[in-house]
Chain A
Amino acid sequence: MLDRRTGVLAVLAAVLALVLAACGGGPQSAAPGDDGSGPITIGAWIPLTGAQAASGVPQMEGAKAYFSWLNENGGINGRQVDWIVKDNAYDPQQTVQAARALIGQDEVVAIVNANGVAPSEAAFPFVLEQSEVPIVDHYGGIAAWYDPPRPLLFGTQTLYEDQAAAMAQWAVESGARRLVVVHDDPKAFADVAAQIGPAATRADGSTTTTAVPVKLGTTDFAPAVSQVEAAGGDAVMLILPAPEAAAYLKAAQLQGVTLPTYGYSPTASSTTVTLAGAAAEGFRAVSLVRAPTDQSPAMQQFREVMATYAPSQPADFSTLLGYANAAVFAEVVKTIQGPVTAESIVEAYRGASAVDTGVAPTMSFSADQHVGTRDVQRVTVRDGQWNAEGDFVSAPDRS
């Protein structure tokens, strides 16, 4: 009887060990190696289902289109790129599972162009600390990720806080002195909105700022527009997702509130124009990438690549963000002489300077600077299309 019980326990222990191994539950002794010849295997978790899929799907399609074009044109130093995407549904638990699968089973050397601030944070301990796999070119992110810089985390997108400062500077340059900031109430939005006042005051000491918080998910902006009108501002700053920004613009147009209105990068989106229609005319926003209508050779190439490799997707801001992140990765990894490993990728990023993809700001990284840029592109809606206002500009210093 004892032997039988021992046998059952042994079988259970073996099954448990197998399950843990399959889940990647044990610590990884080192990042996967590289023989210098096969494909460079990288991965990402992106929300492909659920409410956030509206940004995740085009982001993935843009990056996939870039990697397809890259592979057909020699890859990275002759090596193909195998970019494996897992759906995280913007869920932290699912993101950790995706990370375990990518690192434990697919043996990726880096997480590239992943999406989801809170979900990614849930995966950081396993990916960055336990597995020592770098996460680069993350879609979105927060200032705390990069200050102080984490050894294996590199970003390519101007921080939301810097975008808010850039919006304020633009409004003040345009003559506004009384800014009304309409922002969603969760801390992630409120913290970004809080950067507008100080930045505006630094640009001009006489500038005043009034905050109008709204509930995340608001669809009826009539009350908020009333508050904006009562505040007596001369410019409105929107820290809202694109559908809410569109709802605000429509409500403002209805009430005859025609103040110059500015948005941060999530509002620089085709969704804003589609949903707001004529009410979006004149709306200004800061973008992380060039305007999709830009006529530069790099942007023409972007449109051609999208038409060839992702014909069902529009060549717009959403796809361009994924495309740009993929392009930055390729440009940085091209500089690696020898095996492409987690360690060599990190070294390459630390030393990367003047990385120019032509579609995003020029990026420069260092050991102390893990966000490649603080630049934004000013864009304005004219005739139902986003148009660039000059070239990239740097966000003002926030310190």
Chain B
Amino acid sequence: MEQLFLVVVSGIASGAVYGLLGLGLVIIYRATDVVNFALASMATLAVYVALMVVDRGLGVWAGLLAAVLVAVVVGLLVREVLLRPLGSGRLFAALVMTMGVSLVIEALVSAMWGTEPRAFPPLVAGSVSFGSAALATQDLVVIGVSAAAMLAVGWLFTRTTLGSAMRAAAESATTAQIIGVPAQKVARIAWALGLGLAALASVLYAPRVGLAPMVLSAPLFRAFAGIFLGGLTSMHGAVIGGVTIGVLENLAASYVSANFRDTFVFALTVLILLLRPQGIFGTRSFERV
């Protein structure tokens, strides 16, 4: 029973990271119709900067702050300089652009910091015992910080004027503009928020596996699985989808077969999408004409 608890909590910690990344993707997608494949590489760049801050003795929390700032600045630069000039409705052009940006940033990170994995310190060291099992305190912090960030985003979107404006813009940018919602400002805030969440996810994830130029490739893949499971347009769907993926993959590895871990998880995702193509929490959308 203790082992099951360990497997589930550890899976929730992994899933929280996928959920944060997924949430960042969904916020950006809803506000600007851009599926940002460069999200992970921008966040990785930010974590390398965070490591520089940590190495200067300023502490890991200062590193976290630096990571969020860098990710937001880089994200806004990419949007304003490369994506905004494409104009609206250029979904595939924007998609390809973010893929290209991702590759460029990966190359930049490799050139600047090398390709050898580096250790990144946890926010909190130590462990907590549960019977014969033990959990890294960092895992509990990951869950707590992620939950707090997700609740803050939920509060922003449901309880503030800005959140209402962002939701209005997400429903229809044109209509929102007619009623006085500044679409570009909303888009910039969405990118900043999305990149900030991705940077947070990366700082929480890096201590587990070390920091390398492509460290977030696998979590990004799972975050995408999570948002398709939860619903591409649903913010709480992205979070729940990510956590579900994290827990399921741990359960599958422990009680089904490591060989079929991903197969099991993604077969379930495919099954759910067959039954409900818009994802569990997504809403059906009509083709634009």
Contacts and interface: CB of A to CB of B under 8 A. Distances in A.
B115 A222 contact: no
A4 B281 CA distance: 64
B110 A222 contact: no
Nearest to A227: B254
Interface residues of B, number: 36
Nearest to B262: A215
B283 interface: no
A309 to B, nearest CB: 17
A193 to B, nearest CB: 12
Contact of B250 (A185, A213, A223, A247): A223
Contacts of A212: 258
Interface stretch (B42-50, B65-73, B87-95, B207-215): B207-215
Interface in A231-285: 242-243, 246-247, 254-256, 270-271, 274-275, 277
Contacts of A255: 6, 133-134
A275 B117 contact: yes
B242 interface: no
B289 interface: no
A93 interface: no
Contacts of B209: 219, 243, 247, 275
Interface in A192-245: 212-215, 217-220, 222-224, 226-227, 242-243
Contacts of B160: none
Interface residues of A, number: 35
Interface string A30-50: 000000000000000000011
B130 to A, nearest CB: 11
Interface string B180-223: 00000000000000000000000000001110111001100000
Contacts of A277: 119
A23 interface: no
Interface stretch (B7-15, B22-30, B147-155, B271-279): B7-15
Given A215-B253, A254-B127, A274-B118, A222 B7 contact: yes
Contact of B254 (A53, A226, A270, A318): A226
A72 B262 CA distance: 52
B259 A185 contact: yes
A223 B253 contact: yes
B287 interface: no
B114 interface: yes
B259 A215 contact: yes
B167 interface: no
A9 interface: no
Contacts of A56: 115
Given A274-B119, A275-B117, A213 B258 contact: yes
A242 B209 CA distance: 11
A380 B249 CA distance: 33
Contact of B117 (A220, A254, A274): A274
B6 A222 contact: yes
A325 to B, nearest CB: 19
Residue among B13, B119, B135 with the highest chain A CB neighbour number at 10 A: B119
A51 interface: yes
Identify which of B127, B136, B258 gathers the most chain A CB atoms within 10 Å of its CB: B258
Given A53-B110, A54-B116, A274-B119, A226 B259 contact: no
Contacts of B119: 274-275, 277
Contacts of A271: 116-117, 210
A215 B212 contact: no
A54 B210 contact: no
B3 interface: yes
Contacts of B133: 255
A359 B40 CA distance: 40
A270 to B, nearest CB: 8
B3 A224 contact: no
Contact of A222 (B10, B212, B262): B10
Interface in A121-154: none
Given A49-B107, A215-B253, A274 B210 contact: yes
A58 interface: yes
B253 A224 contact: yes
A117 interface: no
A185 B258 contact: yes
B229 to A, nearest CB: 19
A57 interface: yes
Contact of A254 (B13, B14, B136, B261): B136
8 contacts: A53-B213, A219-B14, A219-B209, A223-B258, A226-B6, A242-B117, A255-B134, A270-B116
Interface of A: 49-51, 53-54, 56-58, 185, 212-215, 217-220, 222-224, 226-227, 242-243, 246-247, 254-256, 270-271, 274-275, 277, 318
Q: Which 10 A/B pairs are nearest by Cβ-Cβ distance?
A: A223-B254, A53-B115, A275-B210, A54-B115, A222-B10, A219-B209, A223-B253, A214-B258, A226-B3, A213-B258
Given A247-B209, A270-B116, A274-B117, 12 more contacts: A54-B115, A58-B116, A213-B257, A215-B258, A220-B14, A223-B258, A226-B6, A226-B254, A243-B210, A254-B134, A271-B116, A274-B116
